[in-house]
Structure 1
């Protein structure tokens, strides 16, 4: 896919100028924050999608695989995956079904809770997530488009935004995001 040419002006700066010109001064900075973060998310997701395309997984599926691979046994209750990834149970169920269909995870009944299910990483899932992680590390995470100082500052700023929105209460584990 050809990369589009850069625009001669920043459309988000122009949007802010328009907000100010229309007298929405109290909302202009907030509009610029929201639209800037949303545009940055689009740009980063495009890079992530390109890195994951050869593996046939979306970032949502990758996150489930990576979380399972980080667990001691490669197995977690579905409810724990929902909580840790901060997604709706319905979305995770759909994602898990695709991973099961592709042979990357197993969905097993919980041994002590008949209403719960466990997700377990298969050998194929473990192999894929390790290869996908290497690709993401090389193609996206090692050079996100900011120098190390700006990256650290941005992570801290976004962590404060998330904390103020009620996303979490305790900033641990280390390193501290704030």
Structure 2
């Protein structure tokens, strides 16, 4: 990704201040910075995962499946845990199935449900991809460990306020 000629957050902040005054610019700039950072990080992570045939959402699904006792989850439950709509979870699983990283199998407990089950190939690619992401500090290498912890703490406060989880 080529660097932009201007800082889009600073430019948005300038326009915002001209239109709305100085008071709300701190929150607007913070939100815009978070959204821009998310775009940058997702691009970095997807670039790191590309050699493994993965995108970040597909990687997350594989890792989640690898954490389960039997390496499988109902697709609906997978979507819940990934915090995506069931349709998105189904698309992720279909792509992983096409690549041989998971299998879709009928649930023995619920005849209506389909399970996503990680394959040995899926486990291997998840391990290799995880190593690459760890080596690249998940795209956050520009921040020191204390800054990364501070960022996590700051965003945790925001998530708590939004009711994202119970403390």
Q: Please say whether Structure 1 and Structure 2 have the same fold, judged by a TM-score greater than 0.5.
A: yes
| Alpha-carbon offset, residue 36 of structure 1 | 0.3
What runs of 5+ residues in structure 1 fail to find an aligned partner? 171-178
**Aligned pair partner of 2:2 in 4, 7, 18:** 4
Distance change (3 Å), C-alpha of 1:90 and 1:24: farther
Change (3 A) 1:88 1:103: same
Partner residue of 2:77 out of 58, 77, 80: 80
1:73-94 Cα deviation digits (max 9, x unpaired): 2112222211211111000001
CA contact (8 A) 2:41 2:139 kept: no
Q: Report the equivalent of 2:109.
A: 112
Offset of 1:64 from its aligned partner? 0.5
TM-score by length of 1: 0.85
What does 1:1-178 align with in structure 2 at a 5 Å threshold? 4-5=2-3, 7=5, 10-141=7-138, 143-170=140-167
Runs of 4+, deviation exceeding 4 Å:
none
Q: Distance in 2 between matches of 1:151 and 1:5?
A: 23
Q: TM-score, normalised by structure 2?
A: 0.90
Give SS of 2:136's match. Answer: helix
Query: How far off is 1:6 after superposition?
Result: 6.2
After superposition, the C-alpha distances for 1:82-119 in whole angstroms (9 at most, x for unaligned) are 12111110000011111111111011111111121211
Distance 1:116 1:27 in 2: 48
Flag structure 2 segments of 5+ consecutive residues without an equivalent.
none
Residues 48 and 140 of structure 1 are in contact (CA less than 8 Å); yes or no, is this contact kept in structure 2?
no
Q: CA RMSD of the aligned region, Å?
A: 1.8
